[in-house]
Structure 1
Amino acid sequence: MTGIAIIGRGAMGATHARALASLGRAEQIKYVVARTAGGVAEAAPGASVISDFEVVLNDPEVDVVSICTPTGTHRELAVQALRAGKNVLLEKPIALTMDDGRAICDEAQRSGKVFMVAQVVRFFDGYRQLADDVAAGKLGRLVSARATRLSSKPDWADWLRDFAEAGGMLVDFGIHDFDQMNLLLGDPVEVSATGPSLTGARNATGPVETTITYRDGGIGQVLSYADLPSGAPFRSSVEVVGTGGFAQYEYAAESPVSPAVSRYSLSAVARDSRVSLAAEDPYARQLEYFLDCVAREAEPSFCPTPSALVALEVALAATTSLELGAPVRLDSDSASDPAAADA
């Protein structure tokens, strides 16, 4: 039986624990690693709450580690877990710097273990349907895509407001949409962001408009804003235009006055469809996919590590663009994203 350790007792650690419980795997969570040992982790009541990560590394019964800690800790924790022979699910973003991200990627390759960055947006039904339709050629050649992500202030964790720990809104929040733009449009070559100055951006929550130019001529635009009034429901959307049509996905979380919304529409040559998607738990789907990859000792091709590095590269370039007030060319060649509909 797969033994699981969750590193981090905050909101995301609890989210991973609830997702595992929904899959009937709660009893497999052996440890929750927190700053303070003792007590009970609400979403994993059967787990031992410990503060010593070495216990996890040295326990042969634990073969899966889910890292849900501040981004600034990712390199150290992920590398240690991989060297100890653990399969690792690492919350996004992969790291705060490209050097740290590459170091994690290199260690994952050397280890031979299953490693995946948790880009959960890839597991939302609407985003998956859009990616599938684009890959199937239903929209022809894509020429433009636009994504929007709106949230209230991230007050559930103090570290998210610490630039040194989270990297700012574009790295922690906007990275979901940068990953989607790359998935849909290919290799990014230039990034330009407008909004507050970098000094303001270190603590700002937007709005920031980022424009990404792609090697094949496509244009991606992302609006990131995390300063809605307290209690306002989270919202995200993506729209794409191709030579053969148009598609849109819209998501809104449930609120006290409105139900959740998850709508996808496609208008293309000889096709026109609109569908409301059922309620879902993308975190559970993500954990299910990762654990299946572990069981099969298979590369997680639906969330390839190079794509996480490129998403980080775009996020860092957008942050630099705010500082310079000018576009930023990307230095590295972006790897192709072989994500397949096998989740």
Structure 2
Amino acid sequence: MRPPAMRSDTATRPSTDAIPLSIPASIAVAGAGAFGLFCVDAYRKTDDIHVTTIVDPVERAPIPGVRWEPDISGVLDDPDIEIVHLATPPHVRAAIAIPALEAGMSVFCEKPLALSLNEADAMIDAARHSGTAIGTDYVMRHHPAFRLLDALASSSAFGAPRTFSLQNFAQRLPRDHWMWDTTKSGGIFVEHGVHFFDAYGRLAGQPLHLWATAPRKHAVEATVLYDRDVVGRFYHEFGFPAAVERTTGIVFFERGYVEIDGWIPERLHGKIQGGHAAVLAAALPSGVPLSIDEGAPIEFEARFGDRKDEYAAAVVAGMRDLARRHRDPDHEMVVTAQDARASLALALAAGRQAAGTRSCGIDTAPVAPLER
């Protein structure tokens, strides 16, 4: 990059995600761990998402205007609650989600959607039969970096994608952390990798073939061949000091590349052999301001705000998206239950092969779409 030649050419436009609900939504949050309370705090900073209830067997410090219930049965008969946000460990989600869906509430589920496709399908069936909806908290899809990546990839300026690589060097977790109990988490691919299978894989088409390994106890790697002849590589390792953890993703196209720094992105940058106007036109649908270098080839970048603030904003955006779908069956969600199921199917297949089983088939057959 040559900073003096850089200039910002795209105007900032708020996405639909950032528009508050016209009628506030009343929700319950199940799971009052650190992340659940982070989400509660994010919602309470808005005027359109009202947390009325927290479901957790252990009551923490009182929160003004919020009641505590020890289990989901305490909210099933509440006519004011539209949505239950599941911020529990994965192994208990289906047992909470299905009664809530059957009671007429929609469910906003942390990733993964479930620990098996049978559980996922049972949840999807419950939503379909009750006329409700399921959302999954794939925060990257609601982040401006991935809106911009989608816009660039969808344009003709870059050409078709060829390959991409995701390197996730994450901080160490304690030995007794529930993520290392695969009966509770599903393992790294399922608990964590689904984010990236979804966000990057959707650029490449349907997965056809998979190779996966676990080179170390806390590390996994997968290579996927997609039906558009795109090769995707995913590496995750939870073995680094927090001060040096890093996540980078790079997508190579016919005429350039796009790289994203940070799992909650802090910067997107890239290079393209093409015209200035073509890059502008490609970025415009995202509404993300882009700085462009006038050199040849063209270099560009976008920088994003505080990671914690962007994370909270993405959670809120996902909840708003689900609330709109809950109220309007014709609303098209950014992340559908089928999206969550497809990435879960790939993660489960990767986990099986990394564990050394012969089978590495990917069950991508969709179940019936959610209907009201």
Q: 1:241 maps to which residue?
A: 252
Checking the alignment, whether the CA contact within 8 Å between 1:15 and 1:283 is kept in structure 2 is no
Counterpart of 1:316 (choices 326, 329, 348) is 348
C-alpha distance 236-124 of structure 1, shift in aligned 2 (>3 A) = farther
C-alpha distance 234-48 of structure 1, shift in aligned 2 (>3 A) = farther
* Cα-to-partner distance string for 1:133-191 (whole Å, 9 max, x where unaligned): 11223321111111122221344983222210101111111111111232111100121
1:274 equivalent to 2:312? Answer: no
Counterpart of 2:45 (choices 7, 22, 29) is 22
Q: Measure, in 2, the Cα distance between the counterparts of 1:154 and 1:326.
A: 30
Q: Which amino acid aligns with 2:273?
A: V
Q: 1:8 maps to which residue?
A: 31
1:251 equivalent to 2:259? Answer: no
TM-score, normalisation: structure 2: 0.78
Percent identity of paired positions between Structure 1 and Structure 2: 23
Q: 2:268 maps to which residue?
A: 264
TM-fit CA distance, 1:334:
6.5
Checking the alignment, whether the CA contact within 8 Å between 2:256 and 2:273 is kept in structure 1 is yes
* Cα-to-partner distance string for 1:91-128 (whole Å, 9 max, x where unaligned): 11010011111111122222211321111121222122
Counterpart of 2:227 (choices 215, 219, 224) is 215
Q: Which amino acid aligns with 1:183?
A: R
TM-score, normalisation: structure 1: 0.84
Checking the alignment, whether the CA contact within 8 Å between 2:108 and 2:137 is kept in structure 1 is yes
Checking the alignment, whether the CA contact within 8 Å between 1:114 and 1:299 is kept in structure 2 is no
Checking the alignment, whether the CA contact within 8 Å between 1:19 and 1:287 is kept in structure 2 is no
SS at match of 1:62: coil
* Cα-to-partner distance string for 1:289-330 (whole Å, 9 max, x where unaligned): 333433444445310111111111111111111122768232
Checking the alignment, whether the CA contact within 8 Å between 1:187 and 1:333 is kept in structure 2 is no
Q: Measure, in 2, the Cα distance between the counterparts of 1:46 and 1:157.
A: 34
* Cα-to-partner distance string for 1:35-75 (whole Å, 9 max, x where unaligned): 12x4435xx44311220311101111111111111111121
SS at match of 2:268: strand
Checking the alignment, whether the CA contact within 8 Å between 1:188 and 1:334 is kept in structure 2 is no
C-alpha distance 212-87 of structure 1, shift in aligned 2 (>3 A) = same
C-alpha distance 127-98 of structure 1, shift in aligned 2 (>3 A) = same
SS at match of 2:203: helix
Q: 1:94 maps to which residue?
A: 113
Checking the alignment, whether the CA contact within 8 Å between 2:322 and 2:333 is kept in structure 1 is no
Q: Which has the higher contact order (CA 8 A, sep 6+)?
A: 2
Q: 2:287 maps to which residue?
A: none
Checking the alignment, whether the CA contact within 8 Å between 1:10 and 1:157 is kept in structure 2 is no
Checking the alignment, whether the CA contact within 8 Å between 1:145 and 1:240 is kept in structure 2 is yes
Checking the alignment, whether the CA contact within 8 Å between 2:44 and 2:51 is kept in structure 1 is no
Q: Measure, in 1, the Cα distance between the counterparts of 2:158 and 2:95.
A: 42
Q: Measure, in 2, the Cα distance between the counterparts of 1:128 and 1:176.
A: 15
C-alpha distance 252-146 of structure 1, shift in aligned 2 (>3 A) = closer
* 1:223-238 mapped onto 2 (5 Å cutoff): 223-229=235-241, 231-232=242-243, 234-238=245-249
SS at match of 1:194: strand
Q: Give the ranges of 4+ consecutive aligned residues of structure 1 lying more than 6 Å apart after TM superposition.
A: none
Larger gyration radius, structure 1 or structure 2: 2
Checking the alignment, whether the CA contact within 8 Å between 2:28 and 2:51 is kept in structure 1 is yes
- RMSD of aligned alpha carbons: 2.5
Q: 1:40 maps to which residue?
A: 61
Q: Measure, in 1, the Cα distance between the counterparts of 2:230 and 2:214.
A: 22
Unaligned runs of 5+ in 1: 254-260, 338-343
Checking the alignment, whether the CA contact within 8 Å between 1:185 and 1:218 is kept in structure 2 is yes
Checking the alignment, whether the CA contact within 8 Å between 2:25 and 2:48 is kept in structure 1 is no
Q: 2:81 maps to which residue?
A: 62
TM-fit CA distance, 1:31:
0.9
Checking the alignment, whether the CA contact within 8 Å between 2:325 and 2:333 is kept in structure 1 is no
Q: Measure, in 2, the Cα distance between the counterparts of 1:83 and 1:321.
A: 35
C-alpha distance 31-236 of structure 1, shift in aligned 2 (>3 A) = same
Checking the alignment, whether the CA contact within 8 Å between 1:194 and 1:325 is kept in structure 2 is no
* Cα-to-partner distance string for 1:187-224 (whole Å, 9 max, x where unaligned): 0012111224xxx7xxx321x22101111211100111
C-alpha distance 110-234 of structure 1, shift in aligned 2 (>3 A) = farther
Q: Measure, in 2, the Cα distance between the counterparts of 1:235 and 1:312.
A: 24
Count residues with an aligned counterpart. Answer: 317
TM-fit CA distance, 1:333:
4.0
TM-fit CA distance, 1:278:
2.9
Checking the alignment, whether the CA contact within 8 Å between 2:86 and 2:107 is kept in structure 1 is yes
Q: 1:257 maps to which residue?
A: none
Q: Which moved more, 1:103-112 or 1:84-93?
A: 103-112
* 1:11-160 mapped onto 2 (5 Å cutoff): 11-25=34-48, 28-36=50-58, 38-40=59-61, 44-155=63-174, 158-160=177-179
Unaligned runs of 5+ in 2: 1-23, 280-297
1:205 equivalent to 2:218? Answer: yes
